[in-house]
Amino acid sequence: MSDQDAPERAHTDFSHSLSYGDYLQLDTLKAAHRPITGAHDEHLFIAVHHVSEVWLELIVRELRAAMTLLHGGITDTPLKMLTRVVRAQEQLTNAWEVLKTMTPADYLQFRHAFGQASGFQSASYRTVEFLLGNRRAVLLRPHEHRPDLHDPLEADLHAPSLYDLALRLLAARGLPVPREVLERDLTQPPVLNEAVLDAWLTVYRAPDTYWDLYELAEKLLDVEDNFRRWRFNHLTTVERTIGFKAGSGGTSGAGYLRAALNTVLFPELWEVRTRL
Ligand code: HEM
């Protein structure tokens, strides 16, 4: 049988079984794409945000799964999950290339449509930040009107971050991690600690002895590296689209995003390079 007649042999009756569109709920997906103006580029703007939200949700799912396993002392499967996070981050960062085809004039055609809405209010993005340890209670505020979004975020604010779990793993392997670090105030971002740096130095000086911790550390660095790229591309896109106007979410705009470039998620993992 030749491949030429393949379409004729394909399944065509979906009156009693799920089709592609049924399974993927494509009607629901497309129904969410509802531009408010007739501006051509509003479609692009919505599509890039939608796609980004889907990737962010996937990242949250992978991070949570990896963290559950790390909590139980398992390191191999989380590495696979974190690799997936890294690949998804690449997709997120590439999305800026599509959005950058929109000029400031294109953007101004529909800017009025979304009022005070901003990615600053993205619960999935904030969850990723919180899981990775970049957290502040004030960032919960935009979600106060939605307990279904607010409460899980608040729980994440008080739970160990991915990095906290990695540090607990170091301690479990007998590397000296100070009590004040293991029992730190989880609602705050991490601060470089010399003893933790020494523990990572031990790992980096003997990778063969601590191979899984070494691999985990390098994977965390991949995640932060990619996060920095996303932030930088966001800032550049923002500057070329709205310049230094205030953000729709109420921050200073580019200034706020530029300051975020100084965020360090895993401080000792960067410093260890200098000390080796
Ligand atoms: C031309 C398009 C865009 C512009 C002009 C823009 C502008 C801004 C500005 C000015 C902020 C600072 C907060 C505020 O609104 O006051 C912000 C935050 C944010 N935006 Fe965008 N943005 C754009 C596209 C996107 C896209 C496609 C995403 C994808 C999800 C996104 C996600 C975010 C997130 C997550 C934040 C919060 C960052 C943080 O708190 O560190 N933005 N954006």
pLDDT digits (tens, 9 = 90+) for 84-129: 999 999 999 999 999 999 999 999 999 999 999 999 999 999 999 9
Is residue 158 marked as binding?
A: no
Which pLDDT does position 135 carry in this prediction?
98
Averaged pLDDT of the chain: 97
pLDDT digits (tens, 9 = 90+) for 66-95: 999 999 999 999 999 999 999 999 999 999
At 6, is the pLDDT very low, low, confident or very high (cuts 50, 70, 90)?
confident
Is residue 228 marked as binding?
A: no
First to last CA, the chain: 64
Give the closest residue to 248 by CA, choosing from 82, 149, 122. 122
pLDDT digits (tens, 9 = 90+) for 180-192: 999 999 999 999 9
The CA 118 to ligand 1 mean position distance, Å, reads 6
Which pLDDT does position 5 carry in this prediction?
78
Backbone angles phi, psi at 179, to 5 degrees: -60, -40
The CA 119 to ligand 1 mean position distance, Å, reads 4
What number of residues does the chain have?
A: 276
Which pLDDT does position 7 carry in this prediction?
86
- Residue 257 near residue 120 (C-beta atoms within 8 A): no
Residue 248 has pLDDT above 70, yes or no: yes
Helices 211-242 and 194-205: angle between axes, nearest 10 degrees: 120
At 19, is the pLDDT very low, low, confident or very high (cuts 50, 70, 90)?
very high
In the structure, which protein residues have their CB atom closer than 6 angstroms to any atom of ligand 1?
Answer: 48-49, 52, 99, 107, 118-120, 122, 125, 234, 237-238, 241-242, 247-251, 253, 256-257, 260
Which pLDDT does position 1 carry in this prediction?
58
Which pLDDT does position 47 carry in this prediction?
98
Mean pLDDT of 234-261: 98
Which pLDDT does position 105 carry in this prediction?
98
Judged by phi (left if over 0) then psi (alpha if -120 to 50, else beta), residue 253 lies in left
The CA 238 to ligand 1 mean position distance, Å, reads 7
Share of the chain above pLDDT 90, in %: 97
Best of 57, 120, 242 to mutate for ligand 1, by most ligand atoms within 8 A of CB?
A: 120
At 8, is the pLDDT very low, low, confident or very high (cuts 50, 70, 90)?
confident
> Residue 123: exposed, middle, or buried by beta-carbon count in 10 A (0-12, 13-18, 19+)?
buried
